[in-house]
Chain A
């Protein structure tokens, strides 16, 4: 056990760590270049301020913000969370301060910290997404926009945009049209669809520069003492290591169909090896989400672990590993 009161001068130098090979972690997401491919996942890092107490958020490829809506929103009643085997259910209801407060406080904060911001936006209608993109245009410090389309469409009986190719495309078209050409627009896809590849095609045809996948899966848990649903919202989004195989499958299928479209992968990543798996399936960047709740230092740790895993496998450049799992067997 180390003793901080032990101030004995060490006469023996500790062995120097061997000169370790490094890997170029640079990645490209459409028009933007990031110094490394590890990001936070939307809704798991607020706007970076809380995590910055544990590590320098500018060390990450980018901070993906919690989804921003037009107006302040109180979210759902509690309980909002249920731990499940290797995962959790959440039903937060997109609580947030709204775009005005975000532009006034959060975005400038990330910019001052030198962190790159991928701004996640969410709305209940195409008009709301349009207005959000318009407000972000010209705001300093927006590296990219991630469009959270796993929201109910109020003008179509609450059908989630992400489950309807035409509705998803309408949102993407509107956001793309409103946004600066230099700012890539990523559509965040839901795995709760019959054919994620067809939704991916629709979004790309509508102008998406890239795709983020996967959002949470809809799930539910019952309390066996009260014999009632655990969550006040009854159903919630399942995340955590339990969903990683679903993420790998979705990324694999979409990368196979659309190999030139950059993918931000997320879903159950809690180690560098998990991140590598998503990369081999086709992700050009990896977002760390639920793992942050169990380990606030997870994003930076995973960045280091991913680099080690790449070096161990002989990759000099991260970009060479993207989609490497798809190569022909020799």
Chain B
């Protein structure tokens, strides 16, 4: 399989609403064949002469290498600003510059293990391709989906097709159990005999999932969400404190070293800071530059 990212001129094939989110299908020749679950793409938004200068990064929901379009890439996103609004309104055949696949994907187990997949909001998008990969390896797959409300859940029906069991939680109780994914996760893991957890969603949720997994002595592979300017490893904006194999904390780029990290390696309590024991941390306060 060819490796590494491509930069291609893609185009919008279709956009449709899914609850509170948008489901975008892009024709992006060559990218699909290189994509594995957990990879992401970075899109140029706004069209030519736009005032939007930075790439927008999106995790990949699924890809298709088949068909007459030379490969499609599907994304789920929420309209949050001018860039995503442009994308949501882009007509079919609108050209979109696509860079991908980017990042390190989820690591797949060699053995037939019991895997529990946990997604928050549209963060669940990359978990369905992952679930199919795990199933094809003979793994048991259980899914837990959580969101603020029913319209912000993504993929509950699809989860039922790929998973042995599906649990749903919402903050307001409009679907499934009222509460957070971590309220139901210990029971799911107990029942499924979970040997590995995969998670994608907001940072606070990933932190809680990592704690539950750690308490059960199970590794958690977490795909993080950090804001990025480039997605390719040059801008140094998407860093977070991660403990390396040598036990030292470094500010690492989530776009190239991640977005998938082992939950017990991320210094969740120190997000948004540079821990004093990080490699190269300033001795005291850092003067202005």
- A contact set with B: CB distance below 8 Å: 1-5, 43-46, 50-51, 53-54, 66, 71-81, 83, 85-88, 90-96, 98, 150-152, 154, 158, 160, 232-233, 235, 237, 240-241, 290-297
Task: Report the bound CA distance from A270 to B183 in whole Å.
Answer: 49
With CB as the reference atom, state the residue of chain B lying closest to A291: B53
Given A93-B286, A94-B289, A294-B54, the answer on whether A46 and B237 have CB atoms closer than 8 Å is no
**Which residues of chain B come closer than 8 Å to A94, judged between CB atoms?**
289
**Bound Cα distance from A38 to B226, whole angstroms:** 31
Considering only residues 178-227 of chain B, those with a C-beta below 8 Å from chain A are 226-227
Contact partner of A75 (CB less than 8 A), chosen from B27, B53, B97, B239, is B239
Q: List 25 A-B contacts (CB under 8 A).
A: A5-B68, A46-B234, A50-B233, A51-B234, A74-B250, A75-B239, A75-B251, A78-B227, A79-B272, A80-B237, A80-B239, A81-B54, A81-B235, A81-B237, A83-B53, A90-B237, A92-B235, A95-B251, A154-B287, A237-B289, A291-B53, A293-B54, A296-B7, A296-B230, A296-B234
Q: What is the CA–CA distance of A233 and B51 in the complex, to the nearest angstrom?
A: 24
The interface size of chain B toward A, counting residues with CB under 8 Å, comes to 46
The prevalent SS among residues of B at the interface is: loop
Contact with A along B35-55 (1 / 0, CB 8 A): 000000000100000011111
Q: Which residues on the B side are within 8 Å of A294 (C-beta)?
A: 44, 53-55, 230
Closest chain B residue to A83, Cβ basis = B54
* Closest Cβ–Cβ distance, residue B258 to chain A (whole Å): 13
**From residue A64, how far is it (CB to closest CB) to chain B in Å?**
12
B5–A75 touching, CB < 8 Å = no
Minimal beta-carbon separation of B4 from chain A (angstroms): 5
- Measured between beta carbons, the chain B residues less than 8 angstroms from A86 are 51, 53
- A81 to B239: give the CA distance in the assembly, Å: 11
A-B contact count (CB 8 A): 144
Instruction: A5-B68, A293-B55 are known; give 9 further A-B pairs, CB within 8 A.
Output: A4-B29, A50-B232, A77-B274, A81-B229, A92-B236, A152-B287, A160-B289, A240-B53, A294-B44
Partner of B7, one of A160, A237, A297: A297
B residues touching A (Cβ–Cβ < 8 Å)? 4-5, 7, 11, 27, 29, 44, 51-55, 68-70, 97, 99, 226-227, 229-230, 232-240, 250-251, 256, 271-274, 278-282, 286-289
Give chain A residues whose Cβ lies under 8 Å from the Cβ of B239: 75, 78, 80, 95
A81 near B227: Cβ-Cβ < 8 Å: yes
Shortest CB–CB separation between residue A190 and chain B, in angstroms? 11
Please give the distance in Å from B171's CB to the nearest CB on chain A: 19
Indicate whether A76 sits within 8 Å of B232 (C-beta atoms), given known contacts A293-B53, A294-B55: no
Q: Known: A151-B289, A241-B53, A292-B230. Is A71-B280 also a contact (CB below 8 A)?
A: yes
Q: Are B53 and A87 in contact (CB under 8 A)?
A: yes
In the bound assembly, the distance between CA atoms of A233 and B280 in angstroms comes to 17
Q: Are B230 and A90 in contact (CB under 8 A)?
A: no
Q: Which residues of B contact A237 (CB under 8 A)?
A: 289
* Complex partner residue of A3 from B68, B233, B235, CB under 8 angstroms: B68
- Alpha-carbon gap, A160 to B287, bound state (A): 10
Give chain B residues whose Cβ lies under 8 Å from the Cβ of A241: 51, 53
Q: Which residues of A contact B251 (CB under 8 A)?
A: 74-75, 95
Q: Are B279 and A74 in contact (CB under 8 A)?
A: yes
